[in-house]
Every structure is written in C-alpha cells, then in structure tokens.
Structure 1
Amino acid sequence: MLYSSINFKEINYKNEVLSGLTVALALVPEAVAFAFVAGVDPLVGLYAAFMVCLITSIFGGRPGMISGATGALAVVMVSLVKDHGVEYLFATVVLMGVLQMLFGLLKLGKFIRFIPEPVIYGFVNGLAIVIFMAQFGQFKVPKLNDTGVSWIAGVPLYTMLGLVVLTMAIIFLLPKLTKAVPAALTAIVVVSAIVIGFNLDTRTVGDMASVGGGFPAFHIPAVPFNLETLKIIFPYAFILAGIGLLESLLTLTLVDEITQTRGRSNQESAAQGLANVVAGFFGSMGGCAMIGQSMINVTSGGRTRLSGITAGVMLLVFILFASSLIEMVPLAALVGLMFMVAIGTFEWSSFRILRKIPKSDAFVLVAVSVLTVIFDLAIAVAIGVVISAMVFAWNSAVRIRARKYVDDKGVKHYEIYGPLFFASTANFLDKFDVANDPDEVIVDFAESRVADHSGIEAVNKLTERYLNAGKTLHLRHLSEDCRRLLKKAGNMVEVNIMEDPHYAVVTDRLA
C-alpha cells in the first residue's frame, strides 16, 4: 500500500490530532528521564523529542510511527558526556545522522528482512518488559539527607497506586463504551482533574524537572574540527547510528503488522538521519523510533503523518507556553498509560506458540527477550540473528543427500541434493566411497548448488581423491553460477570446464 495513494477524505482528523496530543504528553517524562540518563539538561532531551518527532513525521517512511529521545541511545551517550562534555555529544549526534542518511541513500534498509521472526518477537517482548520496569523509577524519590533514592511509602504510595489503577481502568474500559475520543488522553485528563480538583499529594511532571524553555537556537558544536575529534566521536556515532536504525526499523516492522500497511525502510533511515543532523546543530541529544509512543499513537487512532506532526508541535507548545500546565500532570497517569502500553506491546501469543515452533526458534525468542532486558536491544538482536543463522546453517548442512546407483554400463552415479557450502562440505565428502567405486563416476548437481569457496574446495578435494585413485570423475548439471565459481577458482580446482552439448557435463582432465 503506497502512502501517496491515501484518500485524505478517509482520514479522521480529530483522532489524528487527539492521538498526537496524547503522544506529546507521554513524550515529556520519557524525554526528561532519558536526558537524566545521558547526563544532560532536561531541555536537551525535550528538544530532541520535538525535533526528531517532527522531522521524521514529515519526511519518514512510516507515517504513524513516533520518534524521539530514547533510553537505548542515552545509555551509550552517558560515557561520552562524562568523559568529553556535552559539545562532543552534539557533534556525535550530527555524525550519527550523516551515517544514517548514508544508510538510507545506499538503500541498505532492505537488510531488515534478514532478522528472523523469533528475533522480532523477542525484541517486542523484551522492550515491553523494559518499558514496564522503567515505570517503577517513578515510585522513587531522592533521599533528603543522603545521595541516592528511596521508594515512596505510606499514603503517597497508596494514592499513586490508586491513580495508576484508575488510569489503566479508563484506558481498558472506555473503548468498550465509545471510541469517540482516545482512551489514553481521556485517562490523563480525568486523573489530572481529580488530582488538581481534590488537591491530592502525589508526584507530578514538575517534580521531575521544569519543562519550560525557549525555542532551540542554532548552535555549531564547540569542538575542534580535526582528526583527533573524529577519532573520539566516530566510534560513538557508529554505535548510536546502528542502534537507532535497528530500533527504528524493527519498530517500523511492528507498526506495519498492526496497520496492515508497508513502510519504507530506506526513506525512514534517511529521515532519521536528517532529524539527528538537525538535532545536533540545535543542541539536542538526537533520537530514534520509540516503540512505546508509537503504540500509543497507533492504538489511539494515529495512522498518518498528521498525528506525529501534532505530537512534535504540541511538545514545542508545551515547552514555550504551557510548561506550568504540563508540570501539573500527575506522573501516576503517565505511568498507568505506559503500563497499558507495555501490556499491549507484549506478544502474549508467543506463550501459545512456544511449544508449536521448533525448539531452536523458541530458544531464540526467549533469549532475545531476556538479553534485551539484561543488556540492550543491539546486543540481543545481534545474538539472536547469529543463533538463527547458525541453526539454519546446521539444518542445511545435515540435509545434503546423495542418491547412489550403478547404471547398466557399470558407471556409478551420485545425485546430490541440498546446498554445498561451508557447513555441508564434510557431510558431502562422506557420501563418496572412492576406494570401492568403479573406474568411472558421475556426480550430478541438478538438485544441488556450489555456494561458496568452501564448496569449491570440497569439489577440489573430491576430484583429487578420484585422480589419485586413477579414476574418472564427471561433474554433471552444474548450474551456471557454479561453473562461474569453478572458473574463477582457476588452478584451485582440478577440473577443466568441458560442457557436453546434450547433458551439460563438466569433466576433469582424466576424461
């Protein structure tokens, strides 16, 4: 489905705008929290949420997906800020954006297809758990006479828990009664009205930090423009670009599934890069796609660019004009909202399918979920893809077969089935009985393919064995790409390419 073909008469503008407003409210505490994680001023996180959200919503390849400052990037940034200062962070964000734009312009987004379904399930479940666990930080407050934090207790705890439950109940029950307004926004408004109307003593957004400020100003990072600076920032930029693209493209895949449409991964990658370049030059920490806020947007009815644009614009409005009102929003309402997001994001069907899918896939699903919680998304997905690739290679290797028979002329035939590559070469060579075979042998590759250098070496070894035994070996029905591989191998393979005009037989020099 191409987005250019959307019928604008079918867009529900009310839902799009209200959904964007809901997302903007949910972005505020997340951006502030991630700014604290990265060790920068809260406004640096808020500016990132505004700029990245707005630019990717306008130019990105996945309308309805929300981007902003994220924890996955913040945990990488913290050491850079600590060791070199915030100006080096801004320079790194610019370089990160350039790398992401190159990724998109080179059309490398297609490689997201190489991530197996169990890895995507594990990614979704792991992030749902991370989102859920992250909300417990709102139940902690700084200690009065000591460093660190402590859990709230007594009446404040019970009040906050009650408001969280009320928020979750509204989000769950309201859609069953009416879908005229987004349930998440209604829950935030109702709970905020109760807290303000009854003057309840509970934590608000203002207790985290002030969200008021001016319009972000253009700012060239104050770093030396030399090779030494590049050596410092490039490793961080490369890692941040990779993590940002990975989280964005996986979130894009998830939103695709929910909306039954198809996003454009290369366009999204380039837009993410553009957003981060702009963010770096306007003094913010950059960002990438946010699965939690994207889920809020999609479930609230946001399907087009309008919802994301509204979220970005409203976030700027909050910063410039409405900070005092936003600081009055109780954290309990936003915690309840994120709890519901986590519950809705988690793939509960994965419990049902665990016993039905191959054990290796079940292991990958669980491993990626656990590793996402323990380490981070990039490590978890990388390990999941490696395990899946190894399992696939093993399964392909053991499936190589050879049908054997001797024809009426006394020639022995080996009909090979399955790919010949690095993992299957040992099994391939074990199929041949060189010592007891007749003087003439035909190996038929009609149902096989030489896939890599290891396969060429296996053919070479087999040819040498029959050559040393004084026997004639024919290689029949090699595909065109296999013959090209053998030709490129040159002297590495003891085979002269001589095609039979009827049977496309390739024979060695003994023939």
Structure 2
Amino acid sequence: MFNLNSETPFSVKNDILSGLTVALALVPEAVAFAFVAGVDPMVGLYAAFMVGLITSVVGGRPGMISGATGAMAVVMVALVAQHGVQYLFAAVVLTGIIQILAGVFKLGMFIRMVPYPVMLGFVNGLAIVIFLAQLGQFKVIDDDQIAQWMQGDMLVWMVSMVALTMLIIHFLPKLTKAVPASLVAILVVTGIVIGFDLPIPNVIDYVKSNSGDPEASLAGGLPSFAIPEIPLTWETFRIILPYSLILAAVGLIESLLTMTLIDEITETRGQGNRECIGQGTANMVNGFFGGMGGCAMIGQSMININSGGRGRLSGITGALALLAFILVGSEWIELIPLAALVGVMFMVVLGTFEWASLRMFNKVQKSEIFIIVLVSAVTVIADLAIAVIIGVIVSALVFAWKHAKQIYAVKSVDEKGSKIYTVHGPLFFGSARNFQDIFTPKDDPDDIIVDFLDARVYDHSGIEAIDALADRYERRGKTLHYRHLSPECKLLLQKAGNLVEVNLIEDPNYHVADSSLA
C-alpha cells in the first residue's frame, strides 16, 4: 500500500538508534503543539515523554510513536483560554478514562471498517498538514513581535540546509543502513550550522520567539504528581465532558488509523483494543502529572519505522531520551537548527503521502476519488476526526445508493398456478422502495410466493417493507407466502402473522463476525 522501507528486521541496535532520532524530532513538535494549546512548553514536553513511554509499554502497536499532537491541541485551546490549565488536566484525565472504556468494550474493532478511500484521504491529509506546519519554521519574529517570512541570506541558508538534510536521508541508506539516515542528517547539519555560524534559527530561538520570553529554556525537572486544582462539582464535570469526548475520539481515531498504516508497512498486525487502553492509560497519567495528553503521531512513527524501529524498545528509548534532554541535555538540544528538523519532516511528508492515489483518477470510480479528496480537504481545513467521520458517512451513503439498485426478482408460475417472486439482492433502507416496485398486486393471481433464498433482509426498514407488501396483498384479498427468511427476520416479523410461510429446513443461518481479532 505504501512504498516505504519495511524490510528492516527487528533489532535492539535499530530500536535504540531510531528512538534517539525520534526524540530529536519530538522536541520542536511538542513545543509547537504546547503553544497551539496555549500552555507552557514544558507541558507539551512532559506529555510527549509520558504518552510516548506508556503507550510503548502497554499499547497495542510496537514501533508506533505517540506524543503531544496538533489534532488534540486545537481542541484544547478554548478550554485553556476560558477556564485555565487545571481544567485541561482534569479533561485529559477524563479523556483517558473514556479511551480505556473504549478498549474494555472492544470498540477498537470498528476502525477496521474504515474504507480504503477514507484511509488514503487520512494519510494524504495528514501529509499536507505536516507540510504546512513546517512552513511556519521559515518565519521569524521581528521587533514588533510580528511573524515575517525569512529573507536574504537566512532564507538561502535555511533552504540549503533543509535540502542537504533531505539529500542525506535519501542517499545514505543506499550506502549503509548501519545507522538511521535521519539521525546522521541531523548531526551533520547541526555540525555545519554551528561550525560555520550560519544565520539559521535553532530550537531555542523558536521557543524564545514564540513564548516572548528571552530567558526561555527547555531545561526542567521530573514531572510531579498533582490532583488538578478544580472544584469537584457537577458543573465542572459538565464543562470538561464535551472536551473530553472530542479529545478521546480524535485521539483514538488518529491512533488507530496510524496503527493501521504501520500494520500495512510492517506487514504485521497491532491490537486495536489494547491500543485504546494504552492511549487511555497514558492520557489519564498525563492529567495527574502536568501533561497535555496526546495520541499516536504519524510523522514520528514514520521516522521510527524508516529508521529501523520495529519493537517497543524504540518508543521507550525515544521517551527516555526526551526526558534526558529535559533533565540534563537541554543546552545541546537547543542548538539543533530548525533546518535539520524541517528536512526530516519534509521527508516524512514525501513518504507518507500516497502518490499512487494521484494515478487512480482514471482507474477507479469517481465516488472513491471524491471521498479521497473530501477527507484530505477536511483534514487540512477542519479536523481529523470530522474528516474521517464524514468520509465514513459518505462512503456508507455511496455504498447504499449502489446496492439499492441491485435488488430484483425473477418471476415464475408453479404447477399449482401460484406466482413465485424469487428475490435477489439486499433488502435494506436504501432498496426498500425498489423492492416495493417489483410487485404488482393488482395483476397477480390469488396465491403469491416470495422466495428469499437468494436475498437477505438487513435492517428494520427491510422488515417494514415486507410487512407493507403483505398488507398490500391482504387488502386485495390475496394470499402472500414468504419462504426462506433468515431466523433474525422471522423473529422480527410480527405484523404479517399467519401470512408468513417459512421452510425451516432450507432457511439459511447467517453468522456475525465477533471481535476476537480486534
């Protein structure tokens, strides 16, 4: 499905090195999303550490990286602005509880129902979002605290170092895969920028300019336990519940879809319900330890997979390395030029975007192309969760429209003079009207048989259609028999009463898939 490096086997060395690479890429992302949410940068860094560590240990997808994300940060803005950061911590705790319940009740299985065009729209939309987010690194804050695009030598050197980073990541694996290309690119570009004193902003420049604090630093201590300082009242619950529900939905949708992507790339299968519990546990802990919560990160996950990270150790290493940066290594991490990190993320964009979808325009149905474009656009313009929900709804409506036209009946007359309608196709809300149009009670003989051996009633609208048809024949004094109805349908048919005739021996049994594979 995705043309990415997937042949790298699991190894401790690959996991550790890829984890270090991920940790470097997590720093600016966590800081940026903290600014988006309106909280201190350390809140984002603590979230990236705790979410990354806990989901790597107890989550359902080895090799997937989680941390503070923009999709959840944009939901938090209004809550923080109106009620303060303590309400955010409480909302994150409740978010975790909701996600744990989703895993306990095995709701993770439903992500398998996301149609393929929606999945393509998801990855394409996120690739565009990641790309647009990196463009902000090409801006600097002037003396009037207004963001301006880079110009002159700064822009030239910035673009040059971004290009060098991308070239190293692209060509180094052709020479050796002993070390992750992304890690080498970051170290090389950092050395060049520092060694030649190039006019390129680094991580701490970004933090200072966005926080407005010239003394800002990424140095900090261990996160400490604290119960959110909020009134424990029903009113508080009413305030945080809507935010928690949205955060839980956004977090699980992004995490489970990213898990599906990693499954495809690595040709393995994660555990959706366990991932729900892992994400929920991580968010609940976040709320008690001063973090903003988070979910799976498709960009950092791609960096990890492309760098050779396959096991849980890669995520654990990334989280612990990030904590080490906060505790003792901040002065080195702050020197990393933004150009190196932008180059890494640009390569993630190129690897994440499903370029094959552009070649599908003349090869697949127009409805599927529309869904891909729609989900991609809504992901960029609005919200990931909204995009996926809209995509699933549109896919379902398209499916219903197509199958509504597939119901038909073959007509015949038996030796007793009874007219037989042998129905073919699905009977559900979309095809109920077409089903009614098949029959002609006015012109039919007194005895009618409707055979459902090659048909299936799927919902209550189908049941109502059957009952309505029986009423049409009854009003004309004619006898209607139903044959080969499924057991589920027989249990629901009440209004037809003695008009229903079934053959218990030949009735088919339909089995519903359970959630054991989720």
TM score, norm. by length of structure 1: 0.94
Structure 2 portions without partners, runs of 5+: 1-8, 208-216, 509-518
Deviations 1:49-69 (A, max 9, x none): 000000101111100000000
Determine helix, strand or coil for the equivalent of 1:203. Answer: coil
Determine helix, strand or coil for the equivalent of 1:141. Answer: strand
Number of equivalences:
491
Residue 6 of structure 1 corresponds to none
Q: CA deviation at 1:15?
A: 1.3
Residue 496 of structure 2 corresponds to 493
From 426, 436, 461, give the equivalent of 1:454. Answer: 461
Distance 1:503 1:29, change over 3 A: closer
Residue 288 of structure 2 corresponds to 281
From 472, 480, 485, give the equivalent of 1:473. Answer: 480
| Letter of the 1:457 counterpart | E
1:342 matched to 2:345? The reply is: no
| Letter of the 2:496 counterpart | V
Residue 369 of structure 1 corresponds to 376
Deviations 1:365-402 (A, max 9, x none): 11111111111111111110000000111111110011
Percentage of pairs with the same residue: 62
Residue 120 of structure 1 corresponds to 119
Residue 490 of structure 2 corresponds to 483
Distance 1:95 1:108, change over 3 A: same
Deviations 1:221-252 (A, max 9, x none): 00001101000000000000000000000000
Q: Which moved more, 1:116-125 or 1:369-378?
A: 369-378
From 374, 386, 394, give the equivalent of 1:379. Answer: 386
Distance 1:311 1:502, change over 3 A: closer
| Letter of the 2:181 counterpart | A
| Letter of the 2:221 counterpart | G
From 155, 158, 169, give the equivalent of 2:156. Answer: 158
Asked whether the 8 Å contact 2:484–2:503 carries over to 1, the reply is no
Asked whether the 8 Å contact 2:165–2:340 carries over to 1, the reply is yes
Q: CA deviation at 1:292?
A: 0.0
| Letter of the 1:20 counterpart | G
Deviations 1:278-329 (A, max 9, x none): 1110011000000000000000000000100000000000000000000000
Structure-to-structure mapping, 1:63-212, within 5 angstroms: 63-145=62-144, 147-209=145-207, 210-212=217-219
- How far apart are the structure 1 equivalents of 2:440 and 2:299? 60
- How far apart are the structure 1 equivalents of 2:59 and 2:482? 52
From 426, 429, 434, give the equivalent of 1:427. Answer: 434
Residue 509 of structure 1 corresponds to none
1:255 matched to 2:262? The reply is: yes
Q: CA deviation at 1:503?
A: 6.8
Determine helix, strand or coil for the equivalent of 1:339. Answer: helix
From 298, 303, 322, give the equivalent of 2:305. Answer: 298
Distance 1:310 1:493, change over 3 A: same
Q: CA deviation at 1:352?
A: 1.8
Determine helix, strand or coil for the equivalent of 1:62. Answer: coil
Q: CA deviation at 1:504?
A: 6.9
Asked whether the 8 Å contact 1:32–1:208 carries over to 2, the reply is no
From 373, 391, 396, give the equivalent of 1:389. Answer: 396
Q: CA deviation at 1:403?
A: 0.5
Residue 46 of structure 2 corresponds to 47
- How far apart are the structure 1 equivalents of 2:279 and 2:506? 54
Asked whether the 8 Å contact 2:189–2:340 carries over to 1, the reply is yes
Asked whether the 8 Å contact 1:464–1:494 carries over to 2, the reply is no
Asked whether the 8 Å contact 1:463–1:494 carries over to 2, the reply is no
Q: Which moved more, 1:24-33 or 1:389-398?
A: 389-398
Asked whether the 8 Å contact 2:30–2:41 carries over to 1, the reply is yes
| Letter of the 1:387 counterpart | V
Structure 1 portions without partners, runs of 5+: 1-9, 506-511
- How far apart are the structure 2 equivalents of 1:367 and 1:82? 31
- How far apart are the structure 2 equivalents of 1:14 and 1:196? 28
Asked whether the 8 Å contact 1:457–1:493 carries over to 2, the reply is no
Q: CA deviation at 1:461?
A: 1.4
TM score, norm. by length of structure 2: 0.93
Deviations 1:327-384 (A, max 9, x none): 0000000000000000100011111223222221111011111111111111111110
Asked whether the 8 Å contact 1:48–1:287 carries over to 2, the reply is yes
- How far apart are the structure 1 equivalents of 2:170 and 2:358? 22
Asked whether the 8 Å contact 2:483–2:501 carries over to 1, the reply is no
Residue 329 of structure 1 corresponds to 336
- How far apart are the structure 2 equivalents of 1:503 and 1:107? 35
1:437 matched to 2:444? The reply is: yes
Residue 213 of structure 2 corresponds to none
1:239 matched to 2:237? The reply is: no
Asked whether the 8 Å contact 1:456–1:493 carries over to 2, the reply is no
Determine helix, strand or coil for the equivalent of 1:448. Answer: strand
Q: CA deviation at 1:502?
A: 7.0
Q: Which moved more, 1:448-457 or 1:164-173?
A: 448-457
Determine helix, strand or coil for the equivalent of 2:26. Answer: helix
Which consecutive segments of 4 or more residues in structure 1 shift more than 3 A?
A: 492-505
- How far apart are the structure 2 equivalents of 1:498 and 1:408? 18
RMSD of equivalent CA atoms: 1.4
Q: CA deviation at 1:494?
A: 4.8
Deviations 1:397-441 (A, max 9, x none): 110011012233322110001111111111001001111111111
- How far apart are the structure 2 equivalents of 1:33 and 1:501? 65
- How far apart are the structure 1 equivalents of 2:150 and 2:363? 44
1:399 matched to 2:406? The reply is: yes
Q: CA deviation at 1:11?
A: 3.8
- How far apart are the structure 1 equivalents of 2:502 and 2:444? 24
Deviations 1:104-133 (A, max 9, x none): 111110000111010000000000011011
| Letter of the 2:52 counterpart | C
- How far apart are the structure 2 equivalents of 1:437 and 1:498? 18
Q: Which moved more, 1:464-473 or 1:256-265?
A: 464-473
- How far apart are the structure 2 equivalents of 1:273 and 1:501? 47
Q: Which moved more, 1:45-54 or 1:468-477?
A: 468-477
Distance 1:501 1:156, change over 3 A: closer
Q: Which moved more, 1:147-156 or 1:316-325?
A: 147-156
- How far apart are the structure 1 equivalents of 2:86 and 2:165? 40
